[in-house]
Structure 1
Amino acid sequence: MSSDASDAPGPRGAAGPAARTGTGYRAVFAVREFRAVFAAHVLSLLGNVVAQLALAVLVLRETGSPLLTALAFAIGLLPYALGGTLLAPLADRFPARRTLVGCDLLCAVCVAAMAVPGVPTAALLALRALTALVAPLFTGVRAASLGEVLHGDSFVLGRSLLRLVAQSGQIAGFAAGGLLLAAVGPRTALAATAAGFAASAAVLRFGTRERRPPARERTAGGAGALPADRRVRALLGLCWVPPVFMVVPEALAAPYARQIGTGPAGTGLLLAAMPLGAVAGEAAAGALLGPAARERLVLPAAVLLPLPLVAFAWRPALVPALAALVLTGLCAVYALGLDRWYLDAVPRELRGRAMTVMSAGLMTTQGLGMAAGGAAAEWAPPHAVVAGAGLLGTVCAAAAAWFVRMCPVSRIE
């Protein structure tokens, strides 16, 4: 997980610590505090992935119920909306490092409790829900504090690196988690995960600076300004709308693989294709393009993101389907420039809250997109649902992009 590093971010284009040490991703890693944030992020990410997998295996072994096993996965997403709503006001109330370390320690305690033999299934699910409940607070505070650690374009590249790790870490984490479970069993894997969360807390505690929270009266007084600002609403819409449709082929990967006769191997490839495109696109844009070029990509890439999914109307074989999903993943590069616009749109004292809302809304809308895709597939074949998501998503993304274009570039005061 993460934290901060200078007293106040400079204006657009201001040189921060990273800007003085070089350019691109190398400059970001030159900042000592970001290295600590990055290491903690890797530890907590792997912990979440392994805990999710180990809990599902444990629940299946204890109950034999596919429904409860699926719930063990889903419960990692379901509390996001509640956590984002209830905990967002806390994001700017306390020093960032203290909040991040506290979230990590709470996760360590919850996962350690899951590893205790004899814990009832209901308690296991409740403990998992509690770790998910604090996730949007943690993610929002980390994103806001990154604006203190990194200035200007380095903030955008830092956020990009954390996203790249999240995309790659899910694939590697599930693979490594499967090997770990085969070697030591789910309870031991959960105990190791708890140790990982504790290590993340230690890295943040000793590798980052503590900073005073923003002025409390400004934070409380500006609470209503965040959703009321048209520019912020437009940017949140652009952040949330394209992913709603982007996740539909992931939700229907297994049914579509069965439809075209590729089985479990095809399911795995279909699930990996979009993250692969997202990692390749974001890494290339972050390394090769400057800030202005990345910002020019935001609106066209957001609109084009769902469009390749329309190709599923022709029920493509595995290779063309993978190509369409990789193209969709490549368009996720729009998030790079969008991050900078969003950071510029909110004042420092509301950043924690703003980032918490963004994170919680993104996870919630993706969950809704998956649920809607699954429900539609009860009435229509998977390829038609994915194609419909591509067509409708392109229209909705275009509307969201138009709304951003129509809103003035301003900042909440």
Structure 2
Amino acid sequence: MSYRAVFAVREFRAVFAAHAMSTLGVIVSEIALSVLIYRLTGSPLLSALTFAFGLLPYVLGGTLLSSVADRFPARRVLVGCDLLCAACAAVMTVPGTPVALLLALRVVTAAVAPIFQGTRASTLGDILGEGDLFVLGRSVIRITGQSGQLAGFALGGLLLSVVSPRVVLMITVITFLGSALLLRFRTRRRPARAGTAGGGLVRDSISGMRLLFADRRIRSLLLLGWVPPMFAVVSEALLTPYADGLALAPGGLGVLMCGMPVGAILSETLVGSLLGPRGRARLTMPVAALALVPSLGYAFEPAFGWALVCQILTGCGIAYTLGLDLWFVAAVPEELRGRAMTLMTAGLMTAQGVGMALAGTLAELLPVHQVIAGGAALGVMCVAAVLWRTRAALPEALVRRSGL
């Protein structure tokens, strides 16, 4: 099975194209809004909040509204999320919009994101099945997201050099509308996974979350999806002060920032292309265990070249998620799949946000290289504990098939 088989599915091609458009829209709008707020206020704090508000609301949408992914037809949810994001971006383009409203609109789009991503992930199971095609489809979505980061930052910087932030935001409105049109007319309408008899959205979301956490296997797999990335982002969060300590020019910092996305794209592409399902499953736990080891190299205060190597190798650790995806979708009941995928996404983004915040706080008290290396050491121990729990929670038949 290869990536070519995934793209042979017409409906997946539409989802992929919509994902590429909306990813570019999100990233470019973040940059444009940050620049717009800074020009309006001159405040670095308010400008930085644009990015912070892109992570923090994930926990709100991913927990209190996760049942949306199961209680309504997936296509309606996806199109509705895109249209809401387009509307928010359109309001941002209006001259005279208060800064408080701009930030509030950013919170709305961020709260919608886990619902959209969880619904799309669960829909991939309908489009591609629950086997190897699903794993490869999820891999393509992640690769596109990482590539979109690189392309989005470059495109956003280029556009802002020639047009105003509000014009750039208008362009993102077009990308969201394009994504909505693709999903509306190029994907099938499927019924909702669950009825609405369970009460309100919030109550149903919390009830579903309790059911998911009550299952030892699902709980272990959720932790396996959250803990390694929480520690992996420590080095990325502190690259700016680390580069400053090396007296690097802005271009050098930009290259370091590209290290983890490049490693992630490279590893996912190679593992997805060259290995079959059994091979990917066999790599899951070893790669997860080793993903944070490269960041231990920061204990030696590496120069630019070695720091870049550490970043690329840390990014390569994302390859463990190919096996994790297969285990997770097999463990979750069909009627909870949308909520499970939404919760996984929300928890992932929240864990990364917490990791970045704690890293920044510690870096106020300790040297940056010590914080990165110390975070990696603590992460290795925490990931080892999660892997031990996961190994014990997996069915013996799955363990034997995976060669664990």
* TM-score in same-fold range (> 0.5): yes
2:144 aligned with 1:162, yes or no? no
| Conserved? CA contact 1:218–1:349, under 8 Å | no
1:194 maps to which residue? 173
1:361 maps to which residue? 347
From 29, 32, 49, the counterpart of 1:71 = 49
2:218 maps to which residue? 232
1:211 maps to which residue? 190
Give the alignment's TM-score, normalised by structure 2.
0.94
1: CA distance between counterparts of 2:249 and 2:374? 23
Which amino acid letter does the alignment assign opposite residue 252 of structure 2? Answer: G
From 379, 400, 404, the counterpart of 2:386 = 400
Distance 1:408 1:123, change over 3 A: same
Deviation at 1:222, TM superposition (A): 5.8
> Residue deviations 1:321-369, cap 9 Å, x none?
1111211111210011100100000011110000000000000000000
Q: Secondary structure at the match of 1:405?
A: helix
1: CA distance between counterparts of 2:263 and 2:239? 16
| Conserved? CA contact 2:208–2:339, under 8 Å | no
> Residue deviations 1:30-80, cap 9 Å, x none?
000000000100110000011101101100111111111111121111111
| Conserved? CA contact 2:228–2:292, under 8 Å | yes
2: CA distance between counterparts of 1:222 and 1:176? 40
1: CA distance between counterparts of 2:18 and 2:180? 7
Moved over 4 A (4+): 217-223
Which amino acid letter does the alignment assign opposite residue 27 of structure 1? Answer: A
2: CA distance between counterparts of 1:252 and 1:340? 33
1:124 maps to which residue? 102
| Conserved? CA contact 1:53–1:177, under 8 Å | yes
From 249, 273, 276, the counterpart of 1:290 = 276
2:64 aligned with 1:86, yes or no? yes
| Conserved? CA contact 2:280–2:323, under 8 Å | yes
| Conserved? CA contact 1:277–1:326, under 8 Å | yes
| Conserved? CA contact 2:89–2:173, under 8 Å | yes
From 7, 29, 34, the counterpart of 1:56 = 34
2:400 maps to which residue? none
1:100 maps to which residue? 78
Specify every segment of 5 or more residues in structure 2 that has no aligned partner in the other structure, as ranges: 199-203, 397-404
> Residue deviations 1:3-28, cap 9 Å, x none?
xxxxxxxxxxxxxxxxxxxx300010
Which amino acid letter does the alignment assign opposite residue 134 of structure 1? Answer: V
2: CA distance between counterparts of 1:270 and 1:222? 40
> Residue deviations 1:278-323, cap 9 Å, x none?
1100100000000000001111110101111111101011111111
2:231 aligned with 1:245, yes or no? yes
Identity value in percent: 57
| Conserved? CA contact 1:307–1:393, under 8 Å | no
Q: Secondary structure at the match of 1:147?
A: helix
- Quick check: 49-58 or 401-410, which moved more? 401-410
Cα root mean square deviation, aligned: 1.5
The aligned runs of 1:304-343 (5 Å cut-off) are 304-343=290-329
2:201 maps to which residue? none
| Conserved? CA contact 1:80–1:135, under 8 Å | yes
- Quick check: 261-270 or 335-344, which moved more? 261-270
1: CA distance between counterparts of 2:83 and 2:165? 20
2: CA distance between counterparts of 1:218 and 1:34? 31
Specify every segment of 5 or more residues in structure 1 that has no aligned partner in the other structure, as ranges: 1-22
Distance 1:59 1:334, change over 3 A: same
| Conserved? CA contact 1:254–1:263, under 8 Å | no
